[in-house]
Structure 1
Amino acid sequence: MTRISQLCAILLLALATAGAQAANYAGTTFEIEMIVFSHSGGMEQSRESWPATPRLQYPEKWVDFDSTKGDSLFLSPVAPRLNNKVAALDRSGNYRVLFHKTWRQVLQQKHNSPAILISGGDTVGDHHRLEGSVTLSVSRYLHLSTDLWLNDFGNDTTRNTVNGPETGGVMLPRRPSAKVAAADEPAAPGSADSGFRASSLNSAAVPAPAYAQHVALLREERRMRSGELHYIDNPAFGVLIEVRTVEKSEE
């Protein structure tokens, strides 16, 4: 019994240490650099069976690279360090870089972490070739959740409504926009003033629905360590991401 009691005590101590570690990580500033690239062969060359009617949806709690918290940006831009990776992707001729940004962010545990809106590549109407969001959070480890989709608009690069439902197209969700409050209206939770933006539709001018011919999804959950370059991909597109610790003096 004594040995079992000792083992239980060790297990409880380990769990308490893990909980304290998670609490220590929460509220810490990290530097994130992310590259999203497509494979030049296109979706038709990937031999992948993409879902015909994928459920595409933006999250309710989100920030973008223009969101503010107080007098500063929620995602503070910093100089990139992975330009050599971008150059290598470009040189290969097999990939096309759609998104490359580096920013600092105070990471929280998952229930307090907003999604970051991502877009890049060519545009058709109000939509980009790359759309979706990623969420970064901390517990015992760093965690990344991706909900990204790559749009294939076919040969139509001029119209906002491409390959509608009558031809089997995939309807694309509208990217959220900041809710504009009246001057005397207090900022609501989830608004831009609180650091999280709430999605809203401008009823004065709602554009016609937009469709893509095909959509490739990249939905992954990945546990990460700081300072390591992580690679996530599927046959259509992929992500390179590195999360780095920030020294207190730098903060």
Structure 2
Amino acid sequence: MYLENVVMDAVDPGLVGRFWEQALGGSNLTRDPDSYETRVKVDGGPVLDVCVQQVPVPPAEPLRLHLDLSPGGDQEATVERLLGLGARHLDIGQGDVPWVVMADPEGTPFCVMEERAAYAASGPVAALPLDSSDPDRDARLWGLLSGWTDVDGPAGGAPRSLRHPSGLGPLLELCPEPARKDVGAKNRIHLDIRLQSGDDPREVRARILGLGGRDHEHDWGPLPWQVYRDGSGNELCVLPARD
């Protein structure tokens, strides 16, 4: 199995999807009124699809997973380019920090990072910071799910960081959570895992539960994939293997 999708909720998937496609230099996979999907490749490294799915009202819960974007060699120029695509500056009380906090066209926060050695091989997405109540426990689960391995993150950054075995692509950073997850509120951004041929869904479920994950009871109707929570309550989907 492997990490396939970064999934975002949006009222207008086309508006948000086009923004992220241009922001990340992605290639369009599909577009319809209810969703927008774009593919982001890192040569020799991972392929991640950014999938924007429609929700009836704008998400409002605290963000537990967000995108940190690479500075592209010139942080200021990258910020100006994103402003031109429809982003805006955002004040979340960050104070004097070397990164720039911004929001996409529907207000979902993201950051444009400063130059850091840890991001030199990341590609357009520097990192995927995910809130965790126990970074060591959650790193074991996400390592199993994604196949990514432990690496050193930026100095003073998250206590646990994972990266694709190629050593390329974004970091998945397990960050100490500022507050416990509200299990009644769905994360506005979550990750999808894709099974591969030969993966046994029952065995995968047993391993997820054994590493602190749990089944997620939802009212979304029948789905062709399984929904779980990691040990910190963050939703994740395990998609069936492709034919």
Q: TM-score normalised to the size of structure 1?
A: 0.25
Q: TM-score normalised to the size of structure 2?
A: 0.26
